[in-house]
Amino acid sequence: MMALSKTMIGERLSTEVAESDLVQQALEAIRKHRGMEAAYLSEFVDGKAVFRCVDAPGMTHVIDVGDAHLLEETYCTHILEGRLPDLIPDTSKNRHARSMAITETLQIGSHIAIPVKRRNGEPYGMVCCLSQSPHDSLNPRDLETMRMFAELVSRQVNREIEERSEQELKANSVRSILKGSEFSIAYQPIVDLKTMMTAGFEALCRFEPLPYRPPDAWFRDAMAAGLGRDLELAVLGKALEFIDKAPADLFLTLNVSPETVSSGRLADLLTGTPLERLVLELTEHTPVDDYSALRDTLAPLIAGGVRIAVDDAGAGYSSFRHILQLRPDIIKLDINLTRHVDNDPGRRALTTGIMSYAHETGAMVIAEGIETVREKSTLKALGVEMGQGYLLGYPGELPDAESMAA
Ligand code: C2E
Ligand code: MG
Ligand code: MG
Domain residue ranges in the chain: 6-166, 181-405
CA 362 – CA 183 distance, rounded (Å)? 36
User: In the predicted model, what is the mean pLDDT of residues 242-269?
Assistant: 95
pLDDT of residue 318: 57
What is the fold of 181-405?
TIM Barrel (3.20.20)
Model confidence over 168-223: pLDDT tens digits?
999 999 999 999 999 999 999 999 999 999 999 999 999 999 999 999 999 999 99
User: In the predicted model, what is the mean pLDDT of residues 272-292?
Assistant: 91
Model confidence over 381-405: pLDDT tens digits?
999 999 999 999 999 999 887 888 7
**Residue 74 near ligand 1, beta carbon < 6 Å:** no
* Predicted confidence (pLDDT) at residue 19 exceeds the cutoff of 80: no
Pocket probe mutation, ligand 1, options 174, 240, 255, max atoms within 8 Å of Cβ: 255
CA angle 342–343–348, rounded 5-degree value: 65
Pocket probe mutation, ligand 1, options 206, 218, 230, 335, max atoms within 8 Å of Cβ: 335
pLDDT band at 3 (very low <50, low <70, confident <90, very high): very low
**Residue 237 near ligand 1, beta carbon < 6 Å:** no
Q: List Cα–Cα distances, 341 to 293, 327, 370, in angstroms.
A: 36, 25, 10
What's the gap in Å between 203 CA and the centre of ligand 2?
Answer: 8
User: In the predicted model, what is the mean pLDDT of residues 126-142?
Assistant: 96
CATH superfamily of 6-166: GAF domain (3.30.450.40)
Query: Which ligand 1 atom is nearest residue 312's CA?
Result: 3
pLDDT of residue 283: 84
**Residue 317 near ligand 1, beta carbon < 6 Å:** no
Query: Which ligand 1 atom is nearest residue 283's CA?
Result: 34
Phi and psi at residue 340, in whole multiples of 5°? 60, 20
Model confidence over 350-375: pLDDT tens digits?
999 999 999 999 999 999 999 999 99
pLDDT band at 264 (very low <50, low <70, confident <90, very high): confident
Classify residue 13 by burial, with Cβ atoms within 10 Å: 0-12, 13-18, 19+: middle
Residues 26, 28, 33, 39, CA torsion sign = positive
pLDDT of residue 70: 95
**Residue 389 near ligand 1, beta carbon < 6 Å:** yes
Q: Which ligand minimizes its atom distance to the CA of 314?
A: 3
* Predicted confidence (pLDDT) at residue 11 exceeds the cutoff of 70: no
* Predicted confidence (pLDDT) at residue 17 exceeds the cutoff of 80: no
Model confidence over 23-52: pLDDT tens digits?
999 999 999 998 999 999 999 999 999 999
Q: List Cα–Cα distances, 102 to 53, 62, 105, 110, 295, in angstroms.
A: 19, 11, 5, 13, 58
pLDDT band at 16 (very low <50, low <70, confident <90, very high): very low
Residue of 281, 237, 220 lying closest to 256 (CA atoms): 281
Q: Are 379 and 370 in contact (CB under 8 A)?
A: yes
